[in-house]
């Protein structure tokens, strides 16, 4: 089993919808994805629905991350593919988005280190992209399931003075 974790936060949403940090969960989207080449496209569309109305840069980052995680799950894992998007708008005006892609697991061991890629390589950069865009991420692989998770946060924008 391979596990990579860059620091998942520990806040938990309570029954009243308000978590420890004062966050309110507005939407949780969970969807099965087809196990095939269309999985990433469908996942990007689902993220767009879950994050409707958010800032363009956050939506772009979330769609790209989702595409990379879904493509990795299809290329290296097995069915079923499942996408979960949790969107929490905070009372302070900030936003947290968690994206999780799970699959049925992989039968071959994951590499213990990232390969060195040449400029001409057409694949192998997915988790590098996720690491660059996400505030935190983790990957747990095994024969019975693989889970890729990331967190995107955006601070509240200061209000314009009038």
Query: pLDDT tens digits, residue range 72-121?
Result: 999 989 999 999 999 998 877 788 999 999 999 886 655 544 555 555 54
Provide the CB-side half-sphere exposure for 64 (13 A, CA).
17
Provide the CB-side half-sphere exposure for 58 (13 A, CA).
20
Note the pLDDT of residue 2. 40
Domains and CATH numbers, the chain: 2-6+20-110+125-154 (3.30.565.10)
Burial class of residue 112, CB neighbours in 10 A (0-12, 13-18, 19+): exposed
């Amino acid at each position: 089993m391979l596990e990579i974790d860059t620091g998942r936060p520990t806040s938990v949403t309570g029954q009243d919808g308000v978590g420890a940090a004062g966050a309110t969960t507005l939407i949780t989207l969970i969807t099965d994805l087809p196990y095939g080449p269309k999985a990433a496209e469908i996942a990007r569309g689902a993220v767009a629905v879950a994050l409707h109305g958010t800032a363009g840069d956050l939506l772009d980052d979330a769609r790209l991350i989702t595409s990379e995680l879904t493509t990795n799950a299809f290329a290296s894992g097995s069915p079923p593919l499942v996408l979960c998007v949790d969107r929490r708008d905070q009372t302070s005006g900030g936003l947290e988005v968690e994206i999780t892609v799970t699959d049925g697991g992989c039968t071959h061991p994951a590499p213990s280190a990232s390969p060195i890629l040449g400029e001409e390589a057409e694949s192998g950069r997915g988790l590098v992209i996720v690491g660059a865009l996400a505030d935190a991420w983790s990957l747990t692989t095994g024969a019975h399931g693989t889970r890729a998770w990331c967190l995107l946060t955006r601070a509240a924008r200061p209000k314009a003075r009038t």
